[in-house]
């Protein structure tokens, strides 16, 4: 039988963790992986918002934008 374990999360600590440089770095690492699978012309941007760190991949060139519109390149790159 397994024991029931209760965990109390402290919201200020969770917020601090989600906004940390380590989490931002991990988000950027994942975004760079997606951008590399998408190909040339895709770039990564990251920021720390009100509640957590975020990273995004976007088409930075006209060619990449056209490629993404015609082929859903970013969506396919997310599939890994």
Higher-pLDDT residue of 80, 19: 19
- The model's pTM: 0.84
| pLDDT above 90 (res 2) | no
Average pLDDT over residues 64-76: 97
Rg (C-alpha) for the chain, rounded Å, is: 17
Distance in angstroms (rounded) separating the CA atoms of residues 42 and 31: 10
- Reduced to 3 states (helix: H, G, I; strand: E, B; else coil), residue 50 is coil
3-state helix, strand, coil in the chain (%, to 5): 50, 20, 30
pLDDT, position 80: 56
Q: What is the pLDDT of residues 11-58, one digit of tens each?
A: 999 999 999 999 999 999 999 999 999 999 999 999 999 999 999 999
Whether the Cβ atoms of residue 64 and residue 41 lie closer than 8 Å to each other: yes
Distance in angstroms (rounded) separating the CA atoms of residues 64 and 29: 20
Which residue in the block uniquely carries the two structure tokens 């994942």?
30
């Amino acid at each position: 039988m397994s024991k029931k374990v209760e965990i109390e999360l402290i919201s200020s600590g969770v917020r601090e963790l989600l906004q940390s440089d380590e989490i931002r770095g991990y988000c950027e690492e994942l975004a760079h992986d997606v951008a590399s699978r998408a190909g040339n012309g895709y770039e990564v941007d990251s920021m720390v918002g009100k509640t957590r760190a975020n990273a995004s991949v976007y088409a930075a060139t006209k060619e990449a934008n056209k490629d993404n519109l015609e082929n859903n390149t970013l969506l396919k790159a997310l599939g890994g």
